[in-house]
Amino acid sequence: MAPWSGFWAASRPALAAAAAAGTPVVVKMDNPNWSISEIDADGGEFLAGGRRRGRGKNAKQITWVLLLKAHRAAGCLAWLASAAVALGAAARRRVAAGRTDDADAETPAPRSRLYAFIRASLLLSVFLLAVELAAHANGRGRVLAASVDSFHSSWVRFRAAYVAPPLQLLADACVVLFLVQSADRLVHADRLVQCLGCLYIHLNRIKPKPISSPAAAAAALPDLEDPDAGDYYPMVLVQIPMCNEKEVYQQSIAAVCNLDWPRSNILVQVLDDSDDPITQSLIKEEVEKWRQNGARIVYRHRVLREGYKAGNLKSAMSCSYVKDYEYVAIFDADFQPYPDFLKRTVPHFKDNEELGLVQARWSFVNKDENLLTRLQNINLCFHFEVEQQVNGIFINFFGFNGTAGVWRIKALEDSGGWMERTTVEDMDIAVRAHLNGWKFVFLNDVECQCELPESYEAYRKQQHRWHSGPMQLFRLCLPDIIRCKIAFWKKANLIFLFFLLRKLILPFYSFTLFCIILPMTMFVPEAELPDWVVCYIPALMSFLNILPAPKSFPFIIPYLLFENTMSVTKFNAMISGLFQLGSAYEWVVTKKSGRSSEGDLIALAPKELKQQKILDLTAIKEQSMLKQSSPRNEAKKKYNRIYKKELALSLLLLTAAARSLLLKQGIHFYFLMFQGLSFLLVGLDLIVFSCIWLN
């Protein structure tokens, strides 16, 4: 009885006729038990499951299938080989035409101890890999085999007795820090709780509201056409600190001068610290143009740029007319507020005498420009959507972002004003105001446009300042935090959560664990790191980080790799700030590209604002084109940047990946290989162009 052939003979007459005629037919079944079958003229017998006893032609068909698969594998390998050759050629060209990250310094920088340590680790790893490969191949001659085996045996005994215990102890300590950080920020507690808190805020539609009733707020801010409107609007001072930012000064000045506020109750201070005479004259011309159009705007320039941005703001607040103003709004040179910015922020101060700061959210006009801006957008979306919003609603404290915020001038004066003691003057004034009992409000639905750094060099210097400054501030503020009379839980939040865990422990273990200890454990297999530390928890952390920016989910793996790549910069900055090294007080203005335009401002504005007359865009574009075509704006010759620390770490990680192949550790191999390639792209400054491959 042959139920299979009878069934198909009844349902497929053509197939049965073909079998009777002796025509060979190949049938591929959906059922895996009927993989390859053949009907022949001799009506051969079939075994259970549809398999024939004669396997001559079946083997031939399987051979063709295997050949097709081999062809596909060869094509894949050829593509990988061509990609590797292209990457190698690009690396060779960039190294040949590149400059190291310290080549442009006016004075030769002292030799970096961190780079020397990384290079020594690389040389040691290459030597150990050669020993392991020689021992694995067992040599080619008796003398070579005996010497290699003897040295390898001695090394194994030495590392098991003297190297593995301290390395395992350091690894366990970093894992403990990893778990502590996970309990606060990375995964399980704070980050997850913050995400849940953000979800709770969205589900219940919670957002800060002015204490006054809507009717009272409407009465307090009448229409601007009212002749007596100035009597109801508070006096607001607007400050725009800038320094050699000729790419963006026009847009920021224009946006601020178009704020929907009575002109008699607002004064704009353009605080120019530029040392370039051409840039100074351009900004002066722009200020004079708006003054002639009726805007109340003044231009201030300091001859000595002492204290950087903090010194600039402190100097501006010392003007005699500042006493006539109640609030001060601060915008960096690349920020363009919407016309209703003050109307949506200043009312929160009414009838709330404890409120010292109202902070708005940033939005980015160039977030899709390249891979680097996409990854920055993920971080900053989480920062504003989760961290700032949750902290603002539940504890009324967060770090001031330095721009797109409105301060009560009394709160600034009560907290000691701007101080030049660190490179994070915004965090400094926020901590001191919090210690003096002032409360903060974050408005997630009020946005202010700006642009992200588009080059790795600009982003790296920005991150160095953002991570060295908090350590300087922690050393200076710790005695004040201990002595102040605020609640104990607020002191604990500042010391352990705000500073130690988030500013010190995170960059320390990220660099030490994933860039040093993990590669070393490949050469000292007696010390181990569990897979969940290497893969699972970091992946979950990246998933939680990317939730506020769901359109960025395709970049979750590049985001995880890039965050680990940036750990070397953040670790170096943290150490320099903690121990007051020379680079801790380095202040470099983040380079702008000038992509923020008034067209972007109109396109991204709320619908009710698009009908308003914001700016004469055509005139601005014509002036910008004339200034850009001026012969005095000659382009400087550009060089490719080569980052030595990142390149050395890429070679260290790739060497460790090769060693992991001998240990047959799959997860560790893939992590080390892709992380090494990530460091290589960053070290050769190719991350900006890698977005082309991902798109």
The catalytic site residues sit at 273, 426
Which DSSP letter does residue 235 get? P
Q: At what angle do helices 644-663 and 666-683 cross, to 10 degrees?
A: 160
Please give the Cα distance from 249 to 272 (Å, whole number).
10
Q: At what angle do helices 556-565 and 537-546 cross, to 10 degrees?
A: 110
Q: At what angle do helices 13-20 and 3-11 cross, to 10 degrees?
A: 110
Q: Which phi and psi (to 5°) does residue 688 adopt?
A: -65, -35
Tokens of 260: 């929907």
Helical residues (DSSP H) of 267-321, grouped into ranges: 277-292, 308-317
Please give the Cα distance from 678 to 666 (Å, whole number).
18
Q: Which phi and psi (to 5°) does residue 267 adopt?
A: -135, 130
Burial of 596 (0-12, 13-18, 19+ CB in 10 A): buried
Alpha carbon 403 to its chain centroid, in Å, reads 19
Question: For residues 680 and 360, is the Cβ–Cβ distance under 8 A?
Answer: no
Burial of 65 (0-12, 13-18, 19+ CB in 10 A): exposed
Which DSSP letter does residue 451 get? -
Please give the Cα distance from 373 to 691 (Å, whole number).
10
Question: For residues 632 and 277, is the Cβ–Cβ distance under 8 A?
Answer: no
Long-range pairs of 134-138 with CB within 8 A, sequence gap ≥ 24: 136/662
